[in-house]
Amino acid sequence: MSEPLTGTPAPEAEGEVAVVYAGDYVNKLSGQRIERECLTRIERGCRALVINFRDTELVNSIGVSILLGVIDTAERRGRRVAFTNVSLHTLKLFELLGLTRLVVLAENEEAALATLGEFAAPAGH
């Protein structure tokens, strides 16, 4: 069964980037929890989101559709989204469904935060 989402505030030291943890099964219910958490973070002013899939074994197409909704919303608000700790199988699934072209992919949170930091602080600022 999917774990309850452990949406954790990002390490507050990063300030404007939130990290959200996906459960072991990303389906409709857990997808909606991710969505709610991400939208809350965006509302609170986070300018980037990291979704960590370290516990995720299985993702279904409903879960993917909800992730796409999150990406859409973030994009409309000018926010960036990064996926981290994605297993090989899930990665292939995301590739197949065209998600990987829409997000930053990073091996782990640190790498994601670093990449998003670069986007967030363009040269000259």
Partner 1 sequence: MPVKTPKQRRILARTGTETFVGRGEPMREITALGSPRGSQSGLLLFAAPQAGVSELLRQSFDELFRQRGGPAPVYFAFSRTDAANTAAARRFLQTFLTQTVAHRRDDPALVSAMPTLRTLLDLAAPQDYEWVERLIQDFERAQDEGDERALVRLCLGAPQQAAAAGVRTLVMFDDVHLTERLRGEVALAPAAAQAALQSGVPFVLAGPRRRLLDLLNGAAQLVPLEGLRKLHLERLKEPDARTLVDGLAKRLGLRVSDETRDLIVQQLEGSPYLITALLDAAREAGAHLESFRDFQSLYVDELLGGRVQRRYASVLEEVAPSLTLRRGLLRVLYESASGTGGKAPAEAWMKRLGADAVEFERVMRLLHMHELASFHATYVEATPTTTWRDFLRVSYRLQVAASPRALVVADTLVETLKRAPRTMARHYRREAALKLGDVMRGFNFEGVPASLLRPDLYAQKYRGLPREEVQAGLDAEAETLPLPQIVHAASCASFHPPIEQFCDEERCSVAHGFESGEYAEGVEVVWIAAEVESKLEAGRALTGLWLDRLEQVAQACGFERVRFWLVSREGFSAEAAELLNERDAYGSSREQLEHLSARLGGGGAWAREAGGAADEFAIELPMSEDTELIAAHTVEQIARRMEFQPEAINQIKTALVEACINAAEHSLSPERKIYNRFRVEGDKLVITVSSRGLSVPVSLPENGVAHAERQNGDGAKGRRGWGLKLIRTLMDDVEFERVDDGTRLRMTKYLRK
Residues 94 and 83: beta-carbon distance below 8 Å: yes
User: Residue 47 belongs to what H/E stretch?
Assistant: none
CB of 104 to partner 1, least distance (A): 15
Among candidate residues 18, 14, 15, 7, the one with its CA nearest the CA of residue 80 = 18
CB of 60 to partner 1, least distance (A): 5
* Count of residues that interact with partner 1, criterion CB under 8 A: 25
Nearer CB in complex with partner 1: 11/98: 98
Residue type, 38: C
Rg of the chain, C-alpha, whole Å:
13
- Among positions 48-77, residues that touch partner 1 (CB under 8 A) are 57-62, 64-65, 68-69, 72
CB of 26 to partner 1, least distance (A): 11
Q: Which residues contact 108 (CB under 8 A, 6 or more apart)?
A: 84, 85
Among the candidate windows 13-21, 91-99, 105-113, 117-125, which touches partner 1 by CB under 8 A?
Answer: 91-99
Q: How far apart are CA 60 and CA 89, in angstroms?
A: 12
Assess 101 for contact with partner 1 (CB under 8 A): yes
Q: Where on the chain is the footprint of partner 1 (CB under 8 A)? A: 1-2, 25, 27, 29, 57-62, 64-65, 68-69, 72, 88-89, 93, 96-99, 101-102
